């Protein structure tokens, strides 16, 4: 009797083996492509997604810092604004953003263009780093992984993190070329020096990346028993912005006493979950089916690697040290800066992706076809993931339209916004007449008392001469208003709702919109005043808001006249008005 089960199993393995062989042939054909082909394909994909995201996303608090400070337009003016200590980004980042908006006009896209270019530069540098040590497909995988990670958020965030990533990856590429080949050594040394300096000029914490890279060079010095003076000299490019802007750094450090991001050792366990979360989906979607196919195939012996290890020990140490940047950042935060959040150590993803792809190349069965499957899984994941991000951006616009409609209906009364993000957005996207009675009340002492941080309120007061926002100190507001409205939420970023209680206030709920509540407040007692009003802050008479027009279109329309997104926000506001 014929064993049909054995025949079916043998047939199944033969089919799977045939499929794997076909994948191997396709992979081999792709590997023979010129490197410009995958790079150009990636750039087309990347900029299509990034531009769609940047043009459909509302600006928020940190991005408004970038917009308003970059509009100052001179390095002297930018330094004066940063001398308040209210923002911690280096001055060159703001000036470069200013230059781009001068060249291409101000819009949601151009304000975010610098980080977009930087993030794209990182991806291409990852490809070139990996291509030298692995293969084209593994290099391509390393190039697309960043746009499938949570860190991709910073590609369209008008802050310095995307730019920092670009220059950090360029520094790693330059160091690889300098230490592995004498070809164009002078050019790569200059690139290394420049990249280190520009990385730190984008975000001060990039100095930790340079420190990690220096650990790799130290390992190289020990391994080769030779001191490469010019490489060490190139690392000192990172010291230039630290020395030039030391005064600005010291001012920013004054905010550390009650900074919003308190360093906690346990946060290190969440770093890669926060920064690389979606990558697990690609690995599962791509790796599991492939490994199942491999187990069912007739042969697992074939291996197409030319070499198992084409890299040196000191390179592995450098990649590992870069991946460990969150540890260095936490130590720095605990001992010096007293502020830590995952994005401060964002440069670690460069080392993590390089390590991941090198490890996969070295140990994966059938490395060419395995990389191809992961690349396909990544591309199939990236497209719907990007569409989802754009849809989320549109939902945020709808929500803002509803909030603006609520504000518009109460625009004749003094209206305090406790939600600082909403206050920023309303001040920028709403018509000028609508926001004249809209204000934010700041009290750093109350902020510390009720929500244990004063970052928002201190910066709100300190930046009044440069920000077009109606900011009043609590002391000044209480002295002139006994009846007012409050539109806010109860949460960890607003203190105003915690103080509107007897015996000082009588309050009643008037309305609500999603998570926001509208309260009517009447002062019946002598409310505690903001003692911090006596500190050396800019007087209210120098407020930029008081000098601006009280009527006309929104600042979005005035400053970004050719940006259709401003019209979209106004359309959503009018639609919400009609639905009320």
Residue 388 sits in the same domain as residue 418 = no
Residue 384 sits in the same domain as residue 430 = no
DSSP 360-397: HHHHSSSHHHHHHHHHHHHHHHHHHHHHHHHHHHHHHH
Question: Can you tell me the distance from the alpha carbon of 60 to that of 260, in angstroms, rounded to the nearest whole number?
Answer: 17
Q: Which helix (H) or strand (E) holds 461?
A: helix 455-462
In a domain, 80, yes or no: yes
In a domain, 459, yes or no: yes
Residue 414 sits in the same domain as residue 336 = no
Residue 439 sits in the same domain as residue 358 = no
Burial (CB < 10 A; 0-12, 13-18, 19+), residue 24, is middle
- What's residue 431's pLDDT? 93
Residue 228 sits in the same domain as residue 351 = yes
Residue 269 sits in the same domain as residue 329 = yes
> Cα 209 from chain centroid?
17
Residue 373 sits in the same domain as residue 462 = no
In a domain, 100, yes or no: yes
In a domain, 205, yes or no: yes
What average pLDDT does the segment 376-399 reach? 89
- What's residue 95's pLDDT? 96
Q: Find the domain containing 387 and state its range.
A: 37-294+307-392
Residue 244 sits in the same domain as residue 135 = yes
In a domain, 563, yes or no: no
Residue 479 sits in the same domain as residue 388 = no
Residue 485 sits in the same domain as residue 438 = yes
DSSP 275-343: HHTTHHHHHHHHHHHHHHHHHHSS-------S-S--S-HHHHHHHHHHHTHHHHHHHHIIIII----GG
Residue 363 sits in the same domain as residue 499 = no
Predicted confidence (pLDDT) per residue in 321-362, tens digit: 999 999 999 999 888 887 888 899 999 999 999 988 888 888
pLDDT at 39 over 80: yes
DSSP 257-274: GG-SS---GGGGGGHHHH
Sign of CA dihedral 324, 327, 329, 331: negative
| 154 closest CA partner among 347, 321, 394, 354 | 347
**Are 498 and 474 contacting, i.e. CB atoms less than 8 angstroms apart?**
no
For the whole prediction, is pTM greater than 0.95?
A: no
Number of domains in the chain: 2
In a domain, 482, yes or no: yes
Question: Can you tell me the distance from the alpha carbon of 45 to that of 56, in angstroms, rounded to the nearest whole number?
Answer: 17
Question: Can you tell me the distance from the alpha carbon of 439 to that of 420, in angstroms, rounded to the nearest whole number?
Answer: 10
Where is average pLDDT lowest: 211-225, 362-376, 485-499, 531-545?
531-545
β pairing state of 471-473 and 516-523:
unpaired
pLDDT at 248 over 70: yes
pLDDT at 153 over 60: yes
What average pLDDT does the segment 282-298 reach? 53
**Biggest alpha carbon–alpha carbon distance for the chain:** 100
Q: Which of 392, 423, 442 is the last residue of a domain?
A: 392
**Are 565 and 554 contacting, i.e. CB atoms less than 8 angstroms apart?**
no
Predicted confidence (pLDDT) per residue in 411-466, tens digit: 888 999 999 999 999 999 999 999 999 999 999 999 888 988 888 898 899 899 99
In a domain, 97, yes or no: yes
- What's residue 90's pLDDT? 94
Say which DSSP state 121 is in: H
Where is average pLDDT lowest: 55-69, 253-267, 391-405, 438-452?
253-267
φ, ψ (nearest 5 deg) of residue 63: -70, -30
Residue 346 sits in the same domain as residue 473 = no
In a domain, 334, yes or no: yes
- What's residue 2's pLDDT? 47
Question: Can you tell me the distance from the alpha carbon of 521 to that of 450, in angstroms, rounded to the nearest whole number?
Answer: 19
Predicted confidence (pLDDT) per residue in 512-567, tens digit: 888 889 999 998 867 665 444 444 444 444 789 999 999 999 999 999 999 999 99
Could you tell me the two tokens for 199? 């990385």
Mean pLDDT score across all residues of the chain: 85
């Amino acid at each position: 009797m014929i064993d049909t089960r054995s025949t079916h199993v043998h047939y199944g393995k033969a089919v799977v083996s045939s499929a794997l062989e076909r994948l191997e042939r396709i992979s081999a054909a792709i590997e023979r492509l010129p490197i410009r082909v995958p790079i150009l394909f990636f750039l087309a994909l990347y900029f299509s997604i990034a531009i769609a995201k940047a043009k459909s996303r509302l600006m928020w608090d940190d991005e408004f810092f970038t917009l308003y400070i970059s509009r100052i337009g001179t390095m002297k003016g930018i330094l004066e604004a940063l001398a308040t200590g209210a923002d911690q980004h280096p001055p060159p980042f703001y000036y470069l953003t200013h230059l781009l908006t001068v060249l291409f006009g101000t819009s949601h896209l151009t304000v975010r263009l610098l980080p977009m270019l930087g993030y794209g530069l990182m991806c291409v540098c990852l490809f070139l780093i990996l291509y030298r040590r692995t293969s084209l497909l593994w290099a391509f995988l390393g190039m697309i992984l960043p746009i499938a990670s949570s860190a991709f958020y910073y590609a369209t965030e008008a802050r310095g993190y995307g730019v920092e990533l670009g220059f950090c990856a360029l520094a790693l590429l330059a160091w690889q070329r300098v230490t592995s080949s004498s070809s164009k050594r002078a050019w790569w040394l200059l690139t290394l020096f420049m990249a280190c300096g520009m990385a730190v000029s984008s975000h001060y914490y990039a100095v930790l990346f340079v420190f990690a890279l220096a650990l790799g060079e130290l390992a190289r010095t020990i391994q080769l028993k030779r001191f490469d003076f010019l490489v060490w000299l190139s690392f000192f490019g990172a010291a230039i912005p630290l020395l030039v802007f030391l005064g600005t750094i010291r001012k920013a450090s004054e905010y550390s006493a009650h900074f919003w991001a308190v360093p906690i050792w346990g946060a290190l366990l969440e770093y890669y979950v926060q920064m690389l979360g979606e990558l697990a989906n690609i690995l599962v979607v791509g790796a599991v089916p492939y490994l199942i196919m491999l187990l069912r195939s007739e042969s697992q012996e074939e291996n197409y690697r030319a070499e198992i290890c084409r890299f040196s020990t000191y390179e592995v140490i450098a990649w590992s040290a870069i991946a460990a940047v969150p540890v260095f950042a936490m130590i720095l935060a605990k001992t010096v800066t007293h502020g830590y959040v995952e994005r401060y150590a964002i440069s670690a993803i460069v080392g993590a992706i390089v390590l991941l792809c090198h490890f996969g190349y070295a140990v994966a069965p059938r490395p060419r076809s395995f990389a191809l499957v992961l690349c396909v899984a990544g591309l199939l994941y990236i497209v719907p993931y990007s569409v989802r991000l754009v849809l989320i951006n549109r939902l945020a616009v709808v929500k803002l339209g509803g909030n603006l409609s609520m504000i518009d209906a109460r625009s004749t009364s003094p209206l305090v916004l406790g939600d600082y993000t909403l206050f920023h957005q309303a001040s920028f996207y709403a018509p000028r007449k609508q926001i004249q009675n809209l204000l934010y009340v700041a009290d750093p002492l109350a902020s510390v008392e009720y929500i244990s941080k004063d970052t928002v309120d201190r910066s709100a007061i300190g930046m009044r001469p440069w920000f077009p926002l109606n900011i009043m100190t609590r002391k000044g507001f209480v002295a002139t208003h006994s009846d007012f409205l409050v539109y806010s939420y109860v949460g960890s970023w607003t203190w105003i709702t915690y103080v509107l209680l007897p015996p000082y206030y009588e309050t009643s709920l008037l309305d609500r919109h999603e998570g926001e509540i509208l309260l009517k407040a009447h002062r019946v007692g002598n409310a505690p005043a903001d003692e911090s009003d006596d500190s050396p802050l800019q007087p209210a008479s120098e407020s930029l808001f008081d000098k601006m027009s009280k009527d006309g279109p929104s600042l979005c329309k005035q400053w970004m006249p050719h940006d259709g997104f401003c019209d979209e926000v106004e359309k959503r506001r009018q639609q919400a008005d009609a639905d009320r």
